[in-house]
């Protein structure tokens, strides 16, 4: 079993699932994010389902996630800056949080224009889990092929830091559609200019 979880100290994977260190392969980063195709998270998960023969990957979000609140505030600030013409911040953290813009915008859209920042941040936890599963399948051909063949399952879940319960969300509701996508949708080996020239 491999679990992609949040780096938040309130959501330690081994304690959440009552397992010993080494019983599960744990990957953690701020907001259990998969906003880019390259990087150690995707490669590490490919290693899990390859040489380590993991049969299950869980993308685990958690309630009251600071990264999701930060991403929500970043989105709202960017919307405000766009209206006022004020430039948005560009720190490394702001760039990370801005990379979560699509999931925060999706959560805001699903809730409607009257939703508060707290409501959006709470809902974006589930939206981000679903987006993480989708991105993993799009970014990684080895994982996509193992899920397609039934050799590996990919599930989402949300840990409630108040109750200690985990809500399993199951597989992505659009799994057949995602698995049917062309593998060439994302080419991380070429720059956009090289793709445009070809």
Chain segment 139-160, per-residue pLDDT in tens = 999 999 999 999 999 999 999 9
Whole-number pLDDT of residue 189: 46
**Which residues sit opposite 62 in a β-bridge?**
159
Q: Are β-strands 2-6 and 56-62 bridged in parallel, bridged antiparallel, or unpaired?
A: parallel
Instruction: Give residue-wise pLDDT tens across range 64-78.
Output: 999 899 888 888 888
Q: Residue 29 and residue 72: Cα distance in Å, rounded?
A: 17
Top-confidence residue, 189 or 18: 18
Whole-number pLDDT of residue 38: 61
In this structure, are residues 166 and 129 in contact, taking their beta carbons and an 8 Å threshold?
Answer: no
In this structure, are residues 13 and 26 in contact, taking their beta carbons and an 8 Å threshold?
Answer: yes
117 pLDDT more than 60 = yes
186 pLDDT more than 50 = no
CA 62 from centre of chain: 12
Q: 3-state SS string over the chain?
A: CEEEEECCCCCCHHHHCCCCCCCCEEEEEHHHCCCCCCCHHHHHHHHHHCCCCCCEEEEEEECCCHHHHHHHHHHHHHHHHHHHCCCCCCCHHHHHHHCCHHHHHHHHHHHCCCCCHHHHHHHHHHHHHHHHHHHHHHHCHHHHHHHHHCCCEEEEEEECCCCCCEEEEECCCCHHHHHCCCHHHCCCCCCHHHHHHC
**Torsions phi, psi of 166, nearest 5?**
-110, 125
Tokens matching residue 191: 């720059």
In this structure, are residues 4 and 34 in contact, taking their beta carbons and an 8 Å threshold?
Answer: yes
């Amino acid at each position: 079993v491999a679990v992609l979880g949040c780096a938040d100290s309130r959501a330690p994977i081994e304690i959440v699932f009552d397992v010993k260190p080494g019983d599960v392969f744990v990957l953690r980063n701020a907001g259990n994010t998969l906003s880019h195709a390259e990087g150690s998270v995707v490669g590490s998960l490919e290693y899990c389902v390859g040489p380590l023969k993991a049969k299950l990957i869980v993308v685990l979000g958690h309630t009251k996630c600071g990264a999701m609140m930060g991403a929500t505030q970043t989105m709202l600030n960017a919307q405000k800056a766009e209206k006022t013409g004020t430039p948005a911040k560009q720190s490394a953290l702001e760039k990370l949080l801005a990379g979560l813009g699509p999931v925060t915008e999706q959560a805001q859209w699903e809730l409607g224009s009257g939703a508060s920042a707290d409501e959006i941040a709470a809902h974006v936890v589930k939206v981000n889990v679903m987006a993480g599963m989708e991105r993993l399948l799009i970014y990684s051909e080895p994982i996509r092929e193992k899920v397609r063949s039934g050799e590996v399952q990919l599930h989402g879940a949300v840990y409630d830091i108040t109750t200690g319960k985990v809500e399993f969300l199951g597989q992505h509701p659009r799994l057949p559609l995602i698995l049917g996508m062309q593998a060439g949708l994302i080419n991380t080996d070429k720059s956009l200019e090289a793709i445009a020239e070809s």
